[in-house]
């Protein structure tokens, strides 16, 4: 299950983008793209943008990515 957007797990997700493990190639590519955004701009606005984008991605693909969601947020 995808955590609510207000869940503190999202802050941990952003802080640990470089250490996230995923089985699906699409998830690994998505996380790398988010990591690049955060590397170049560590502002709170970018952090919140990355959280919203990741929440949308995992919510829309939660059936296909259930194992990755469990790995990341479990």
Tell me if 2 is assigned to some domain: no
Q: What is the pLDDT of residues 3-54, one digit of tens each?
A: 999 999 999 999 999 999 999 999 999 999 999 999 999 999 999 999 999 9
As for how many domains the chain has, the answer is 1
69: domain range? 9-73
Domain membership flag for residue 68: yes
Report yes or no on 15 lying in a domain: yes
In a domain, 49, yes or no: yes
In whole angstroms, what is the distance from residue 60 CA to residue 67 CA? 14
* Model confidence at 74: pLDDT above 90: no
In a domain, 4, yes or no: no
Segment 63-68 mean pLDDT: 96
Is 31 part of any domain?
Answer: yes
Q: Which pairs with CB-CB distance under 8 Å and at least 24 residues apart come from 20-23?
A: 20/72, 21/71, 21/72, 22/68, 22/71, 22/72, 23/67, 23/68, 23/71
């Amino acid at each position: 299950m995808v955590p609510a957007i207000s869940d503190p797990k999202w802050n941990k997700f952003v802080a640990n983008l470089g250490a996230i493990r995923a089985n699906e190639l699409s998830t690994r590519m998505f996380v790398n793209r988010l990591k690049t955004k955060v590397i170049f701009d560590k502002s709170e606005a970018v952090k919140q943008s990355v959280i919203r984008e990741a929440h949308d991605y995992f919510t829309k693909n939660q059936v296909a990515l259930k194992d990755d969601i469990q790995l990341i947020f479990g």
